[in-house]
Structure 1
Amino acid sequence: MASQEVAIARGEWIDPALSRMTVGNWIENWIQLQVQLKPTTRVRYDVAIRRQILPVWESVPLANVTHSEVSSWVLGLSATLAPATVRYAFRVFSLALSAAVKDGRMVRNVAEGVPLPRIVSRPKRFLTHDEVGRLAAACEPYGTLIRVLAYAGLRWGELAALRVKRVDLARRRLEVVEAVTEVNGRVVFGTTKTHQRRSVPIPRFLADELATAISGKGPEDLVFVSPGGEVLRNTNFRPRFFDRAADKAGLPGLTPHELRHTAASLAVAAGANVKAVQQMLGHASAAMTLDVYAGLFGDDLDGVAERLDEAVVRRNADSMRTVGDQAAVQSTVGGAKYVAD
């Protein structure tokens, strides 16, 4: 009784009946309430829950989940799964536990502070203009599609969902407002990854190519379609067209997403700043763009030092001229006074 009274005084008391709910039952209820999830994200959540979370935690009461046991679970997953997979499963589990805390079923989220495996990023691959040209030529009749990916930086889903009415040839802009995804074999149209629309500039030569590509199509028609006139699916396009073209162009192992990296690289080389690249690619923030492409911008420390040096030299030169002008004025005035006297 005394310990319960202390818990109440500290605001840490929870109803024992609520905390006896098992993790399996709680997650089943929690996932149904996540109405904000995009279809593809929900599928990924479901996979993590079914494969990594429930096999260990399904029958464990929420009250019995401890920090050390969560750490042991992460360690066990890390022995057989990639770090990214482990971190994703942990994130889903931690979100569910946080919701349980808000629902008064746990005192705190015991998953907080659990050590996670590090993700080692692979070096990004950036194509040159010549390599983009070779790939596009090898991928005909989808050469224009390749150049849109490489020079506009669209995600595959955004490209596949691009409609004729979103191509502004006069302003040389692509209005990116929706994306298409594959969910359990079905094609689903929805918002972009960040749920934001954006306007992407395109070079003049690409606008001319797109004018040809959309000629004779209606405003609601898709710009790029499969040979059968259906929505382009990455799972079909890659083996039938892209992978073969990459091998033919001497670029084996290339992926369509690496053309998005290429767009960032070519834009920076052309003088684009980090904010422009962020807007073009549709990143949530400029900080994210720097995290992903920091190496493209360089630190420019030598340039900063040079510009500071030039500023100080100019200031000193201006100061010396000002002092010299003042001395000349005083000499002239003094001489005139002497003559007058």
Structure 2
Amino acid sequence: MPARRRFGSIRRRESGRYQVRYPGADGQMRTAPDTFARKSEAERYLTLIEGEIMRKEWIDPERGKVTLTDYGERWIRQRPNLRPRTVELYTGLFRRHIKPDIGGVPIGRLTTAMIREWRTNLLDNGVSVGTVAKAYRLLRAVLMTAVREDEIIKTNPCRIPGADREHAPERPVLTIPQVLDLADKLGGRYRALVLVTTFASLRWGEVTGLQRCDIDTDAGTVRVRQAAVEVPGQGVVIGPPKSRAGLRTVSLPTAVLPAVRTHLAEFVADDQSAYVFTGPTGVLLRRGNFRKLVGWSAGVAAVGAPGLHFHDLRHTGNTLASKTGASLRDLMTRMGHDSPRAALIYQHASAEADAAIADAISAALIGKKEGPEPPATRAEDDPDDGAAGALIPA
């Protein structure tokens, strides 16, 4: 008679395959999720399970039966400190790009190969690289919680190198004359909006959430303490800035202050709680109809920057700030970033531009030593002549 197994049991089924049962760490009997073609494979499985239990690494496979849809939607609802706009973005990404393909799969059944196929299918169906990268990062974050916090699965199957990178194209940066020209083109109640957004490096929600009490034209500062966010079914809601670092006070260039004072006098009620930038009827601006409301497409095309996004005004302001030689910490404070990553990108761009200038000077010096003098620079070739058509590379 064969010896009784020390841990678990193996039974040969009528199909010829082997079924494994074993006591979990809680003493309850469990059945392996799969059967095995060979008895040696079943024995190896039992040995692995026993080792996990002894090392206290065993995870109840019943917990992994929750579907990705159930777990992911609950994750979005229960995630702490998510802004309404972020909840909206996560919900949309999950509903459109994760749930249809793999939402019905139990979390414990997800594999890297399955994730890789899901990602490939999205790209093959025409979803942009940027959107797929966002969906992948969301999925990875959801499953990381399942590993680290809820202990539903042992490892995160999102292990595809480079899948989280968007490879987003460089956004355009306006010259100062272009910014001024665009402000004039939009004119009226939107002129100061362009100037403040650009030269204070503000986000859409930050600038549209400003109230009269946040503007100090004597000190020349803008205080960011809240942000306007559009929430489906609720409209525009006032909430906290994107992060704790978003709470900040930003200095405006002195040259912009006359336009701000004029705007406050003409378009803002004499009440400290009055919103600074609103539509013609006095309601808060909304992303959805802003472009049409102000004639944005025609305005940016007229200044030589077709395709410019409103957020590119902040990008322009950040780039201009970086070219002043400001420190990394000062840039982070002005931009409202709690991580140096974004500020470093702008510093790197400035360093490259500065190096290019040095190389050009060096080439001119070498040419003067070894060859004829270079021709005199024409006025129209000077990049500081205010030509509105040229774009500063990011």
Structure 1-normalised TM-score?
A: 0.81
1:93-132 correspondence to structure 2 within 5 Å: 93-101=139-147, 102-113=149-160, 115-116=162-163, 118-132=165-179
User: Cα 1:123–1:230, aligned 2, differ >3 Å: closer, same or farther?
Assistant: same
Which residue in the other structure is 2:243 paired with? 194
2:259 pairs with 1:206: no
User: Cα 1:15–1:34, aligned 2, differ >3 Å: closer, same or farther?
Assistant: same
> Quick one: which of 127, 145, 148 aligns to 2:196?
148
Q: Is the 8 A contact 1:71 1:115 kept in 2?
A: no
Counting aligned pairs with the same residue, the percent is: 30
User: Cα 1:29–1:264, aligned 2, differ >3 Å: closer, same or farther?
Assistant: closer
1:144-183 correspondence to structure 2 within 5 Å: 144-183=192-231
Q: Is the 8 A contact 1:135 1:249 kept in 2?
A: yes
Which residue in the other structure is 1:277 paired with? 331
Q: CA deviation at 1:66?
A: 1.3
2:327 pairs with 1:252: no
Which residue in the other structure is 1:227 paired with? 280
Q: CA deviation at 1:220?
A: 0.5
Distance 2:146 2:167 in 1: 32
Further displaced range: 131-140 or 52-61: 52-61
User: Cα 1:285–1:107, aligned 2, differ >3 Å: closer, same or farther?
Assistant: closer
Q: Is the 8 A contact 1:160 1:225 kept in 2?
A: yes
> Quick one: which of 123, 131, 147 aligns to 1:85?
131
Distance 2:354 2:323 in 1: 14
Distance 1:87 1:271 in 2: 33
Q: CA deviation at 1:270?
A: 4.2
Distance 2:198 2:164 in 1: 33
Distance 1:20 1:128 in 2: 56
**Aligned-partner SS, 2:182:** helix
Provide the aligned length of Structure 1 versus Structure 2: 305
Which runs of 5 or more residues in structure 2 are unaligned? 1-7, 9-45, 359-394
Structure 2-normalised TM-score?
A: 0.71
> Quick one: which of 64, 67, 78 aligns to 1:33?
78
Aligned letter for 1:285? S
Further displaced range: 116-125 or 159-168: 116-125
Q: CA deviation at 1:70?
A: 1.4
Distance 1:134 1:55 in 2: 46
Q: CA deviation at 1:11?
A: 2.8
Aligned letter for 1:266? L
More helix by share: 1
Aligned letter for 1:249? V
In angstroms, what is the RMSD of aligned CA positions?
Answer: 2.5
